[in-house]
C-alpha cells in the first residue's frame, strides 16, 4: 500500500495524459482489510464476490480490497488502481452525456493497466482466424455473459483502443474523447476525428487484426518448430566445423613455420 500511495499521483497523471483531460476534485481511495468490510463500505450496495475493486465516478471514489484479504493468487494494487481510475476518469468525463460504450470503458482500462498475457493473445488469434469476432454493436451496451465470449469481448476492446492509439496517434484520440464526452453522436465524432463511420472503422480494424495475427499459427505450428530446431542445429554444426577448420589451418601454419 505504501508503494501505491507514493506512486498514485504519477499513475493518475499517466491516465489523464492519455485521455487528454483532467479529473477535477480529489479522488478518494478506500482500502478494505477484509472481504466483509469491502462489501460493507460499498456505497452502491453489495457487489460481485470476485471483484477486487469498484470505481464510483459520481462520488470520485475507488474502493479496493487489500491484497492481504486474498488467500490465493496475486493481486497488484498498482494495476488495479490504474484500471479503476481509468473507469472513474471516463465516467466523470462522460457525466451528463450519453453512456460510455462498454468496449471503450473496458478497452481503455485494460490498455492503461497493461493487463495482457499470452492466453488473451490466443483468444484474439483464434477469433481472427475463425472469423468469429464479436460485432462492436454487440459489445457497446454490455458484454456477453458466456465466459469465453466475455473474454473475447475484453480482448477485442483492448485491441481496438490499441489500434486507435497506434495507428492514428494520441492527438486524435484526445479529440475523439473530447468531442464524444461532450455529447456528440459516435458516428459524427468518428467522421470528424478519424474520417470514417463506425462500420468503416470496424472493417479497417478487422483488416489490421488479420494482418497482425494471421502469421502466429505459422510460427507456432509443430512443423515450424522442427524446422527452427533443424536450422539451429545446422547453424551450430556449421559454426563448429568452421572452428575446427580454423584450428587445423593454425596447426598447418604452425608446422610450416617450424
**Domain count for the chain:** 3
Shared domain for 214 and 230, answered yes or no, is no
Q: Residues 113, 89: one domain?
A: no
Q: Do both 52 and 123 map to the same domain?
A: no
- Do 186 and 167 reside in the same domain of the chain? yes
Does residue 236 share a domain with residue 208? no
| pLDDT band at residue 176 using 50, 70 and 90 as cut-offs | very high
Same domain, 19 and 47: yes
Q: What is the pLDDT of residue 72?
A: 62
DSSP state, 233? H
pTM for the whole structure: 0.78
Q: Minimal CA–CA distance to 37: which of 57, 60, 2, 63?
A: 63
pLDDT tops 70 at residue 95: yes
- 12 and 121 fall within a common domain: no
On whether the CB atoms of residues 27 and 15 are closer than 8 A, the answer is no
What residues make up the domain containing 211? 102-220
Higher pLDDT, 55 or 246: 55
Indicate whether 241 and 161 sit together in one domain.
no
Residues 135 and 209 in one domain: yes
User: How large is the average pLDDT for residues 235-255?
Assistant: 48
Secondary element (H or E) of residue 234: helix 222-257
Same domain, 247 and 198: no
pLDDT digits (tens, 9 = 90+) for 18-58: 999 888 899 999 999 998 999 989 997 888 777 889 999 99
Domain boundary among 58, 93, 128: 93
What percentage of residues in the chain have a pLDDT greater than 90?
53
Between these two residues, 67 and 191, which has the higher pLDDT value?
A: 191
CA–CA distance, 179 with 136 (Å, rounded to integer): 20
List strands edge to edge, sheet with 53-56.
28-32, 61-65, 53-56
Examine the domain organization and report whether 114 and 77 are in the same domain.
no
Please determine, for residue 245, whether its predicted confidence score (pLDDT) is greater than 70: no
* Greater pLDDT, 255 or 15: 15
Amino acid at each position: 500500500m505504501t508503494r501505491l500511495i507514493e506512486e498514485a499521483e504519477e499513475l493518475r497523471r499517466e491516465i489523464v495524459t492519455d485521455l487528454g483531460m483532467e479529473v477535477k476534485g480529489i479522488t478518494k481511495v478506500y482500502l478494505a482489510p477484509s472481504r466483509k468490510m469491502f462489501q460493507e463500505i460499498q456505497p452502491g450496495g453489495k457487489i460481485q464476490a470476485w471483484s477486487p475493486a469498484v470505481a464510483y465516478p459520481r462520488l470520485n471514489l475507488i474502493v479496493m480490497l487489500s491484497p492481504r484479504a486474498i488467500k490465493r493468487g496475486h493481486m497488484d494494487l498498482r494495476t488495479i488502481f490504474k484500471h479503476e481510475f481509468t473507469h472513474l476518469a471516463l465516467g466523470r468525463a462522460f457525466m451528463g452525456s450519453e453512456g460510455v460504450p462498454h468496449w471503450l470503458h473496458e478497452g481503455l482500462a485494460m490498455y492503461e493497466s497493461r493487463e495482457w498475457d499470452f492466453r488473451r493473445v490466443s483468444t484474439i488469434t483464434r477469433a481472427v482466424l475463425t472469423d468469429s469476432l464479436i460485432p462492436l454493436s454487440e459489445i457497446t451496451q454490455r458484454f456477453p455473459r458466456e465466459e469465453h465470449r466475455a473474454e473475447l469481448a475484453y480482448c477485442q476492446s483492448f485491441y481496438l483502443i490499441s489500434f486507435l492509439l497506434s495507428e492514428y496517434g494520441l492527438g486524435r484520440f484526445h479529440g475523439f474523447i473530447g468531442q464524444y464526452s461532450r455529447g456528440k453522436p459516435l458516428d459524427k465524432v468518428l467522421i470528424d476525428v478519424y474520417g470514417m463511420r463506425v462500420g468503416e472503422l470496424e472493417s479497417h480494424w478487422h483488416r489490421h487484426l488479420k494482418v497482425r495475427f494471421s502469421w502466429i499459427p505459422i510460427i507456432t505450428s509443430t512443423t515450424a518448430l522442427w524446422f527452427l530446431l533443424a536450422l539451429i542445429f545446422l547453424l551450430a554444426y556449421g559454426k563448429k566445423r568452421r572452428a575446427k577448420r580454423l584450428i587445423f589451418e593454425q596447426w598447418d601454419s604452425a608446422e610450416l613455420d617450424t
